[in-house]
Amino acid sequence: MTKTRMNKLRKNKTLKNKPQNITNFKFSDNLEELFISSCIKCKHPNKIYINNPVLMSDPKLIDKIYSQPRKTEFDGVSAILDNKKYPKIFGSNIDTIFFCHVIKKNKNKLKNVETFFELGVGGGFISKYILSKFNIKKAFLNDIEKQVIDYATTDLDLPKISNSKIKTTTITSPFNCNIVEKNGITFFQGDGINVLQHLIKPRVDLLVCNPPYIPSSKNENDLDINSPNFWEGTRLLRYLLKNFSTFATKLLMIVSSLSLVNKFVIDELSKVRFQILENHTVPIKVYSNGQNILDNKHVMDLLTTNNKQISINNNTFNVGIVNDSNDDWKYKHTIYFVYIYA
């Protein structure tokens, strides 16, 4: 805080020389106002005291404070996401850049790709990168969140495949899905598996997905398919490994050492032809159902009691949490960029 601003605070008649209880704390877009509104002044001229401090690592609080629009840039491709306008969109993260980095290094494997489908577009940077770097003739982008489709069709500024007016269609049977077609790209807002099963014919050249990879329990197979959480945990990952060849000739996907705690993931991965294009061991910064997994004793017990290395089709994988004492991060996992082909 500047000295001028501090002087203004000292002259403010509403701030007494004794601590006050602040009863109406409101989140503000202006971080300086936010700071001032959460502080009280005491008689000591050089100290500001926080009344009722909270941990800003709490995801419920983080979600209420919007940063400035965030720009992601890699290899000449950029995207700007304003989380105040699109609060339900998860922006780019380390997995996103990892994806694009590996795609760049392995362009020869994708040189004949003309059609692709991204399941779970999120911030959309991976799709934008693929559309910018390859001669794509048809693209299908899917997410269950409406804000993702709104952002992808407007502010994401995707490259055009063709010039066409925007067209919107709603399908209610056999499932609910909103379809938006614009500039040669088709956007599906709805359950991506239903879209793949019923609306993508013939199969695409490339399927791209960064699925959830934290096992929800040892008994994920016991979940009812009608459960709202059916595709959480490793179920989507396992479904794609088992069925991708029905929808695509190639699959690009991240597999984490954490997901390999589930033996069913290992079983499905051992049945397909694949190549590990690259892997990195990184700190665990993962939220599941709004909770940091490091705070979930059940999940941590599952991930820390299965640490080992295994071989799948002559490829070595870490399993569970990786012990790495090279820095201050106690808990890490290895993410593998896997190229799977029919």
> For the segment 131-158, what is each residue's pLDDT rounded down to a tens digit?
999 999 999 999 999 999 999 999 999 9
290 and 315 inside one domain = yes
Q: Is residue 18 included in any domain, yes or no?
A: yes
What is the pLDDT averaged over residues 165-176?
85
Q: Is residue 229 included in any domain, yes or no?
A: no
Both ends of the chain: CA-CA distance in Å? 59
| Residue 45 structural domain | 3-53
User: Angle between the 125-133 and 94-105 helix axes, to the nearest 10 degrees?
Assistant: 20
Query: Helices marked H in the chain — which ranges?
Result: 3-11, 31-37, 59-62, 94-105, 125-133, 146-152, 192-198, 235-247, 263-269, 297-304
Last residue in a domain, options 210, 236, 264: 210
Q: Specify the DSSP element, H or E, that contains 292.
A: strand 291-292
pLDDT one-digit tens code per residue, 9-31: 444 444 444 444 433 434 444 55
Residue labelled with tokens 């299965």: 306
Q: Is residue 289 included in any domain, yes or no?
A: yes
Give the pLDDT score at 31. Answer: 53
Q: Is the pLDDT of residue 323 over 70?
A: yes
- 318 falls in which pLDDT band (50, 70, 90)? very high
What is the pLDDT averaged over residues 93-117?
94
DSSP β-ladder status, 138-143 and 308-312: unpaired
30 and 76 inside one domain = no
Q: Is the pLDDT of residue 96 over 60?
A: yes
* pLDDT, greater one: 341 or 47: 341
Give the pLDDT score at 14. Answer: 44
Give the pLDDT score at 174. Answer: 79
Residue 27 to residue 65: CA distance in whole angstroms: 7
Q: Is residue 119 included in any domain, yes or no?
A: yes
7 and 109 inside one domain = no
* pLDDT, greater one: 133 or 285: 133
**How many domains does the structure of the chain reveal?**
3
Residue labelled with tokens 């059940």: 298
Q: Is residue 215 included in any domain, yes or no?
A: no
C-alpha dist (Å) from residue 272 to 144, 251, 267: 28, 11, 10
Share of the chain above pLDDT 90, in %: 52
Q: Specify the DSSP element, H or E, that contains 156.
A: none
Q: Is residue 225 included in any domain, yes or no?
A: no
What is the pLDDT averaged over residues 243-252?
96
Torsion over CA: 190, 191, 197, 201 (sign): positive
